[in-house]
Structure 1
Amino acid sequence: MIEIRQRAFVMMAHFITLSFVLHQDRSVVEMFKHSRGRTQPGLCSFGQTTSCCLGWRNVNGICQPVCNKSCVNGECVGPGKCLCSKGYKGPQCDEDVNECGFLERPCTQRCMNTHGSYRCYCEPGYTLNADGCTCTSESF
């Protein structure tokens, strides 16, 4: 009698857990449909159930990473991890990169740092080439 109650309890616990997971994260079938059968980042399996991993959330059947602080000039690529756009750095991609300060300067003559980028200028008597980085003498 005790064994039957234990089995019933275990079955009920599995049913409740599965129902909660499927309700919270849609269905496993729906998630796999969106991932076309490939392993989806942020998708975790717990025994017979599959749902979004810790640090990920379900957005229309796809697990999306969660960044508690926004990625100002970039995108959230993992739980709390930003991938910065070119010209930015820092944990939230909110720090400008000073390209003119690199040892290997991007400009052959003058360089002015701008927000997220830089701009090259030439000394008097020179013209900026189409590449935007090198200068050519105006005298022939």
Structure 2
Amino acid sequence: MYFSCFSDVDECLQGDPGPCGYHANCTNTPGSYLCSCFRGYLMSAEGCKDVDECVLAAVTGLQACGSGAVCTNTPGSFTCSCPAGFVLALDGHNCVDVDECNFEESCRRELGNVCENTDGSYTCVCQAGFREHRAACVDVDECVEEQHVCVGRGECENTLGSYRCVCQRGYRGNGTHCTDINECLSGDHGCDVNARCGNIIGSYFCQCLQGYSGDGHSCYGQSEIPIHAV
């Protein structure tokens, strides 16, 4: 009587990456072995191949990522990303709108403007004196855009969200109604004590008295003329 003993060969231990190749689990069986692909891979004649979940979803209609999200295939898996104005939800598949009005500063809400959230963005509702420009409320320079907003002797000064009219130098008033200042009567002039002050509209002039020389702001008698003035 003859006996022959055969010991099983564990094919899974032979070589690298082994008989199943990469991306697969090898399970030894009596006289053979079994291959099972990792998750995200499918068995083919060449071994386990990556499944493009993004393409598969488009073919089957089963969305890998939620509506509005961008699917990107990766080895054995996929990732979902969201466009600007959205963030990925905790489930990793869906996009959630970002309410920019919770943190934006471009609308200048402290000045009375309003921020309105929209799907993926926001808009500014600007009050009078501001203009919406590139999702921000910017000041309108009324002095440039409405050049005759101040009349008469008033001059326009732009302010944030508005403007004001101020009287020109030599005039007083509220900027809308300006009257000439008589500097000679108010004493708000620089004439020498030996000069005559003459008021003119919006200004004044100084003229040295007879017997004095100078520009009216500085007048000298004949014996007082400084050397540099001779």
Q: TM-score under structure 1 normalisation?
A: 0.50
Higher strand share: 2
The structure with the larger Rg is 2
Higher helix share: 1
